[in-house]
């Protein structure tokens, strides 16, 4: 297993610099929102603008998002799961594993109505960075953005997985299934075909599978 740090320092530096200049914490961060639902795209746009983002572009599906990434500089992607042509999982796998990926370390924040553990694990094992259950609040969106900017997880590469480490912080006495290199491996089996973990989960439990809780987040 190999560990990588990615390019999070650049994001953090730009966010801090923008804040010092008075332009706003997110004013220099480039966002891409990929969602086939126009209303959802507008909601995400309005929330990001209210949080101080100034550069936001949109895609209607994963294929369009991938095409845009090859010609544009994007820092963070907000991504729906179920989209035509190319869904969010296929998009994530291409970004993480393709030889011609425009950015294998790209922070991918999935926003979806799927809250079952089977879907959560499937997305995690595809390489999704953060996972938000719709409908989500502005506080939750900002919390995930801050997580990928200020507390990014290292990337790990094994024979069957490349993506964010399953844990955000190391614990010396940790010896469970989520230990680096021992976590359940990625699976190609669709969540709908899995017989286990079909019960819906609250957001706070979902977070445990993506590096732990977000301490700056209040219950919404």
Residue 2 has a pLDDT of 58
Mean pLDDT across 37-59: 96
Mean pLDDT across 14-32: 87
Q: Is the pLDDT of residue 212 over 90?
A: no
- For 109-135, the pLDDT digits (tens) are 999 999 999 999 999 999 999 999 999
22 vs 28, residue with greater confidence: 28
Residue 157 inside a domain? The answer is: yes
- For 1-17, the pLDDT digits (tens) are 555 565 566 888 888 88
70 vs 194, residue with greater confidence: 70
- Count of domains for the chain: 1
Closest Cα to residue 142, out of 65, 220, 69, 74?
220
Residue 181 has a pLDDT of 37
Q: pTM to 2 decimals? A: 0.82
Domain, as residue range, for 148: 2-209
Residue 22 has a pLDDT of 78
Mean pLDDT across 144-158: 91
The Cα–Cα gap between 135 and 49 comes to 18
Mean pLDDT across 37-43: 96
Least confident of 105-119, 137-151, 190-204: 190-204
Q: How confident is the model at residue 35 (pLDDT cuts 50, 70, 90)?
A: very high
Residue 68 inside a domain? The answer is: yes
Average pLDDT, the chain: 84
The Cα–Cα gap between 48 and 219 comes to 20
Q: What is the CATH number of the domain that holds 172?
A: 3.40.50.2300
- For 76-87, the pLDDT digits (tens) are 999 999 999 999
Residue 170 has a pLDDT of 45
Residue 215 inside a domain? The answer is: no
Q: Is the pLDDT of residue 29 over 90?
A: yes
The Cα–Cα gap between 148 and 150 comes to 6
Residue 219 inside a domain? The answer is: no
Residue 216 inside a domain? The answer is: no
Residue 214 inside a domain? The answer is: no
SS3 assignment, position 111: strand
Element (H, E) at 46: helix 38-50
């Amino acid at each position: 297993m190999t560990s990588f740090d990615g390019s999070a320092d650049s994001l953090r530096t730009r966010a801090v610099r923008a804040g010092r200049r008075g332009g706003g914490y997110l004013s220099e961060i480039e966002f891409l929102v990929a969602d086939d639902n126009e209303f959802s795209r507008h909601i995400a746009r309005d929330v990001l603008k209210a949080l101080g983002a100034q550069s936001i572009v949109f895609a209607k599906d994963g294929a369009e998002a991938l095409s845009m990434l090859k010609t544009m500089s994007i820092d963070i992607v907000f991504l729906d799961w179920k989209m035509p042509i190319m869904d969010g999982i296929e998009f994530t796998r291409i970004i993480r594993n393709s030889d011609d990926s425009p950015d294998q370390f790209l922070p991918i924040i999935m926003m979806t109505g799927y809250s079952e553990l089977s879907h959560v694990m499937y997305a995690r094992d595809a390489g999704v960075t953060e996972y938000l259950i719709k409908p989500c609040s502005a506080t939750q969106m900002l919390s995930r953005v801050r997580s990928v900017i200020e507390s990014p997880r290292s990337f790990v590469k094994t024979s069957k997985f490349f993506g964010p480490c399953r844990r955000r912080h190391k614990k010396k006495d940790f010896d469970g299934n989520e230990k680096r290199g021992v976590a359940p491996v990625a699976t190609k089996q669709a969540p709908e075909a899995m017989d286990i973990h079909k019960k819906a989960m609250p957001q706070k439990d979902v977070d445990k599978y993506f590096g732990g809780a977000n301490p700056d987040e209040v219950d919404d």
